[in-house]
Structure 1
Amino acid sequence: MIWEPERLDDQALLSAGDPGAMLPVVASAAAQVRTAHRNAGEADIARLAQDGRPRAIVVTGMGSAALAGDILAVICGYGAPLPVITVRSGRLPGWVGATDLVMAVSCSGRTAETLAVAAEAVRRGASLLAVGAQDSPLHAIATQASALFVPVEANGPSRANLWGMAVPLVAAAGALGLVQTDPDLFEGVAKGLEDMANRCRPSSESFVNPGKALAMELAESVPVIWGATPLTAVAAHRLALQLYENAKYPAQWGALPEAGHNQLGVVEGPLAERDIFAESAGRTIRLVVLREPEERPISLLRVVEDRDVPVSELAAEGAHPLERLATLIELGDYASAYLALGYGIDPTPVTAITELKSRTSQ
Structure 2
Amino acid sequence: MSLDDTLLDEPDELVEIDAQRMLASTASAGAAIRSTLDADDGHALGPLVEQGRPRSLCVVGAGGSSAPGEVLAAVAGRGSPLPVFALGGPTLPGWVGPMDLVVAVSASGRTPEILTFVSEAQRRGSSVLGIGAADSALQEVCSNSRGVSFWPVSRLSPLQDVQKARSLLWALSAPLLLLAGELGVVADAREGLAAAADRLDARAMQCGVEVLTPENPAKDLSIHLTSGLPLVWGSGDIGAVAARRLGRQLAENADWPSVVGVLPEGARTHAGLLGGPWAGPASEEDIFRDRTLDSEPQPRLRAVVVRDAMEHPDTATIADAVVQTCERLDVPYQSIASTSGHAIEQLADLVGLVDFASIYTALMQRRDPSRSAEEIDPRFGRWRRTEGM
* Per-residue Cα deviation, 1:244-272 (whole angstroms, up to 9, x for no partner): 11111111212111101212222122322
Residue 240 of structure 2 is aligned to residue 233 of structure 1:
yes
Question: How far off is 1:44 after superposition?
Answer: 3.8
Residue 125 of structure 2 is aligned to residue 125 of structure 1:
yes
Give, in whole Å, the separation in 2 of the partners of 1:201 and 1:112. 36
Identity %, equivalent residues: 36
* Per-residue Cα deviation, 1:13-35 (whole angstroms, up to 9, x for no partner): 11221111111111101111111
Report SS of the residue matched to 1:19: coil
| Among 161, 170, 175, the residue aligned to 1:163 | 170
Contact 1:5 1:342 (C-alpha < 8 Å) held by counterparts: yes
Give, in whole Å, the separation in 1 of the partners of 2:167 and 2:224. 23
Report SS of the residue matched to 1:58: strand
* Per-residue Cα deviation, 1:33-85 (whole angstroms, up to 9, x for no partner): 11123334353413322111101111100122211001111111111121101
Structure 2: gaps (5+ residues): 158-162, 287-295
Give, in whole Å, the separation in 1 of the partners of 2:91 and 2:382. 20
Alignment of 1:1-362 (within 5 A): 1-41=1-41, 43-146=43-146, 147-154=148-155, 155=157, 156-181=163-188, 183-272=190-279, 274-278=281-285, 283-293=299-309, 295=311, 296=316, 297-350=319-372, 352=375, 355-357=378-380
Contact 2:230 2:304 (C-alpha < 8 Å) held by counterparts: yes
Return closer, same or farther for 1:131/1:31 CA change in 2, 3 Å cut-off: same
Question: How far off is 1:358 after superposition?
Answer: 5.9
Give, in whole Å, the separation in 1 of the partners of 2:310 and 2:78. 18
Contact 2:112 2:382 (C-alpha < 8 Å) held by counterparts: no
Contact 1:69 1:86 (C-alpha < 8 Å) held by counterparts: yes
The normalised TM-score by structure 1 is 0.94
Return closer, same or farther for 1:359/1:105 CA change in 2, 3 Å cut-off: closer
* Per-residue Cα deviation, 1:173-232 (whole angstroms, up to 9, x for no partner): 111111223543322111110011101111111001001000011113111111111111
Letter in 2 for 1:300: V
Contact 1:110 1:136 (C-alpha < 8 Å) held by counterparts: yes
Name the stretch that deviates more: 341-350 or 178-187. Answer: 178-187
Aligned to 2:290: none
Report SS of the residue matched to 2:274: helix
Return closer, same or farther for 1:269/1:209 CA change in 2, 3 Å cut-off: same
Contact 1:103 1:129 (C-alpha < 8 Å) held by counterparts: yes
Letter in 1 for 2:169: L
Question: How far off is 1:100 after superposition?
Answer: 0.4
Return closer, same or farther for 1:240/1:43 CA change in 2, 3 Å cut-off: farther
Structure 1: gaps (5+ residues): none
* Per-residue Cα deviation, 1:322-343 (whole angstroms, up to 9, x for no partner): 1010011010111011111111
Return closer, same or farther for 1:65/1:360 CA change in 2, 3 Å cut-off: closer
Name the stretch that deviates more: 179-188 or 116-125. Answer: 179-188
Report SS of the residue matched to 1:33: helix
Aligned length: 362
* Per-residue Cα deviation, 1:78-130 (whole angstroms, up to 9, x for no partner): 11121101111121000010010001001011112222222110110000011
Name the stretch that deviates more: 80-89 or 268-277. Answer: 268-277
Contact 1:43 1:149 (C-alpha < 8 Å) held by counterparts: no
Contact 1:224 1:252 (C-alpha < 8 Å) held by counterparts: yes
The normalised TM-score by structure 2 is 0.88
Report SS of the residue matched to 1:178: coil
* Superposition RMSD in Å: 2.1
Letter in 1 for 2:5: P
Give, in whole Å, the separation in 2 of the partners of 1:177 and 1:196. 29
Contact 1:59 1:86 (C-alpha < 8 Å) held by counterparts: yes
Give, in whole Å, the separation in 1 of the partners of 2:245 and 2:16. 26
